[in-house]
């Protein structure tokens, strides 16, 4: 009888723990230029971790990007217009022969933030999140067929208290980002970095 009570009690605790929902976005202390908030993104083969990131409009973050995949990957942060410009620029260079990724460029004003890393490489860039929450910010990789294989994500704007201000578009990744894994987006405020060009 004691064993049965223990098993039933253990099962109730186990299933009760499993029934819990994922907590809401924790309160975020927005980063400022003198003290940017740390934001981590891991590029894997055909996905970003996290796939949806929470950012506070106008904050400054230190975007730490790591390529944990086996292939060369890029992170392009920007609006749909920025994504379209990079996709068009990279299309002629799709499936290059072995060697360095070909250098490509986009028209002025369409740069967004672009980071290209070989397998195992990492970089950090200071970045200021745009204040305009009406413009959707996307994360995409335009190398070869990576986007078609699912390498895309989105930014969800939140207030400093974690209150959701915008929702990512339908069909984007559904992983909620922890406070320490949040990218940012603003073409005018990225600090130039050697990693922002193709290696």
169-199 pLDDT, tens digit per residue, is 665 554 333 333 333 333 333 333 333 333 3
b/e per residue 132-159 (b: at least 16 CB within 10 A): ebeebbbbbbbbbebbeeebbbbbbbbb
3-state secondary structure of 108: coil
Nearest to 65 by CA among 181, 197, 185, 194: 181
CATH code that applies to domain 25-196: 2.60.40.420
> What's residue 194's pLDDT?
34
Confidence label for 51 from pLDDT (cuts 50, 70 and 90): very high
Assigned token pair, 5 = 């009570």
Domain ranges in the chain are 25-196
Name the residue with higher pLDDT: 71 or 95.
71
3-state secondary structure of 16: helix
Average pLDDT over residues 93-113: 75
Q: How far apart are CA 140 and CA 150, in angstroms?
A: 9
pLDDT at 9 exceeding the cut of 60: no
Nearest to 59 by CA among 179, 154, 168: 179
Average pLDDT over residues 113-130: 94
CA dihedral of 105, 107, 113, 115, whole degrees rounded to 10: 0
């Amino acid at each position: 009888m004691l064993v049965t009570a223990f098993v039933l009690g253990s099962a109730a605790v186990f299933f009760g723990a499993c029934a819990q929902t994922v907590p809401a976005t924790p309160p975020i202390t927005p980063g400022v230029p003198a003290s940017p908030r740390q934001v981590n993104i891991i590029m894997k083969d055909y996905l970003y971790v996290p796939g949806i990131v929470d950012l506070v409009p106008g904050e400054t973050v230190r975007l730490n990007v790591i390529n944990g995949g086996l292939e060369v990957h890029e992170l392009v942060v920007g609006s749909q217009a920025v994504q379209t410009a990079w996709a068009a620029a990279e299309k002629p260079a799709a499936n290059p022969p072995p060697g360095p990724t070909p250098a490509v460029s986009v028209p002025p004003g369409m740069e967004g933030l672009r980071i290209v890393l070989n397998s195992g490489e990492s970089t950090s860039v200071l970045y200021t999140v745009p204040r305009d929450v009406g413009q959707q910010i996307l994360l995409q990789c335009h190398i070869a067929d990576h986007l078609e294989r699912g390498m895309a994500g989105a930014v969800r704007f939140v207030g400093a208290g974690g209150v959701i201000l915008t929702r990512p578009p339908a069909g984007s990744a559904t992983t909620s980002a922890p406070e320490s894994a949040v990218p940012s987006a603003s073409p005018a405020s990225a600090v130039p970095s050697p990693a922002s060009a193709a290696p």
